[in-house]
Amino acid sequence: MILFHVPGFRGNQTSLNPVGPGAEHIEFEFALIFWITVIVYCIVLIALVVYVVRRRHSLNIMPEPIRTTPESDRRARHAVGAAMVVTVLLVFTMLIGSFVSGHALGKMNRQSAYTIDVYGHQWWWEVHYPNDEPDKTVVTANEIHVPMGVPLRIHGTSRDVIHSFWAPNVQGKRDLMPGYDTDVMMQIDQPGRWRGQCAEYCGEQHAHMSFYMVAEPAQQFQQWLAQQAAASVSPSSPQVTRGQQVFLSHACVMCHTIRGTPAGSRVGPDLTHLASRSTIAAGVLPNTIGNLGGWILNAQSIKPGCRMPPNHMTGTELQDLLAYLETLK
């Protein structure tokens, strides 16, 4: 729909700038209802103004009793009848529009679709790219790279409370419920970083539970996937080796995975390729060394209530740990 494609509606988190068939149908449906109601509203207002202007002389005096004739009765009946017919027709137009959109969305090809698993957590998104060879399964968080122009099947559920997966430029909302699996089809036809957000109140940090859908040309996506499937790089300098030791000897291992090391817990995000992400903590902070340091020492001061406790370590330990994490491309 071009009706809303005006500057100002070009954002990366708005359903008025659809970048795939899902959001396009939703925008069409929205535009249909919007313009029908705007036109009806204007007609009603104009009728009201015309009536008031015509009868303005009678406003100074006591209203006359309404006198009807069989002729005026008949005209009134016809007018009301016609308005009713038009109303029903308009409501049906909207209903049919909604059926057409729903049908088109349901028709997206599930068989040829690329499947990605999304798990909602308080307050971040765990993302899996399943592979027939289990050791090639990719696990990441909050930044969902996808191939452009390909039907995607997002298979979702929740690890705790109800969340809702919503990237407005791409597709409508889908609730993720604990103990219940759901599927939603989508496709992205424009390259870019399309921002999404949890759309179902899920606790203290609900507002800080965003994600990005990063749409890339197929080849670039495959490169990304291959790089993500690899185990973490082994330390190549004494400082980085010490940093890995800091990680493995602190509580981090109880909650995080770094593939290729003994750390294999799934309470928090997989950190195997942490340095390849551009944000941390579900979009709260850019992934810079300073932000990482602050986050590790006291995540609670950045995202109060989040499931990562403060960590105590010396300055040198932190420097070494950060040097290590920065190598996890």
Q: Return the residues of window 186-205 that contact ligand HEC according to CB under 6 A.
A: 205
Of 274, 275, 323, 328, the one binding ligand HEC (CB under 6 A) is 274
Q: Could you tell me which of 139, 79, 133, 91 has the C-alpha nearest to residue 264?
A: 139
273 binds ligand HEC (CB under 6 A): no
Identity of the residue, 39 or 207, whose beta carbon is nearer to Cu ion in the bound complex: 207
Cα torsion 27, 197, 161, 266: sign: positive
What is the per-residue binding string for ligand HEC in 292-311, x denoting contact by CB under 6 A?
x---x------x--xxxx-x
What is the per-residue binding string for ligand HEC in 206-245, x denoting contact by CB under 6 A?
----------------------------------------
Pairing mode, if any, of strands 114-121 and 152-158? Answer: parallel
- Beta strands per DSSP E along the chain: 114-121, 124-129, 138-141, 143-147, 152-158, 163-166, 174-176, 182-186, 192-198, 210-216, 279-280, 285-286
Identity of the residue, 123 or 221, whose beta carbon is nearer to ligand HEC in the bound complex: 123
Of 118, 202, 271, 299, the one binding Cu ion (CB under 5 A) is 202
What are the structure tokens assigned to 116, written together?
Answer: 């990605």
Minimum separation from the CB atom of position 116 to ligand HEC (A)? 17
**Alpha-carbon dihedral 116, 134, 225, 306, rounded to 10 degrees:** 60
23 binds Cu ion (CB under 5 A): no
Identity of the residue, 116 or 274, whose beta carbon is nearer to ligand HEC in the bound complex: 274
Distance CA 156, CA 164 (A): 10
Of 206, 266, 277, 307, the one binding Cu ion (CB under 5 A) is 206
Minimum separation from the CB atom of position 279 to ligand HEC (A)? 7
What is the per-residue binding string for Cu ion in 126-165, x denoting contact by CB under 5 A?
-------------------------------------x--
Interaction partner, residue 307 (ligand HEC, Cu ion, none; CB < 5-8 Å by kind): ligand HEC
Interaction partner, residue 308 (ligand HEC, Cu ion, none; CB < 5-8 Å by kind): ligand HEC
Identity (one letter) of the amino acid at 215? Answer: A
Collect contacts of 231-238 with beta carbons under 8 A, ≥24 apart: 231/259, 231/260, 231/272, 232/258, 232/259, 232/260, 232/261, 232/272, 232/273, 232/328, 233/260, 233/327, 233/328, 233/329, 234/260, 235/324, 235/327, 236/327, 237/323
Stretch of residues binding Cu ion (CB under 5 A), selected from 107-115, 165-173, 195-203, 237-245:
195-203
252 binds ligand HEC (CB under 6 A): yes
Identity of the residue, 160 or 189, whose beta carbon is nearer to ligand HEC in the bound complex: 160
Stretch of residues binding ligand HEC (CB under 6 A), selected from 6-14, 56-64, 223-231, 246-254:
246-254
Cα distances from 29 to residues 103, 234, 284, 328, 329, in angstroms, run 13, 52, 32, 44, 42
> How far apart are the two ends of the chain, measured CA to CA in Å?
40
Distance CA 94, CA 100 (A): 10
Q: Which residues bind ligand HEC (CB under 6 A)?
A: 123-124, 141-142, 205, 247, 250-252, 254-256, 267-269, 271, 274, 277, 280-282, 292, 296, 303, 306-309, 311, 321
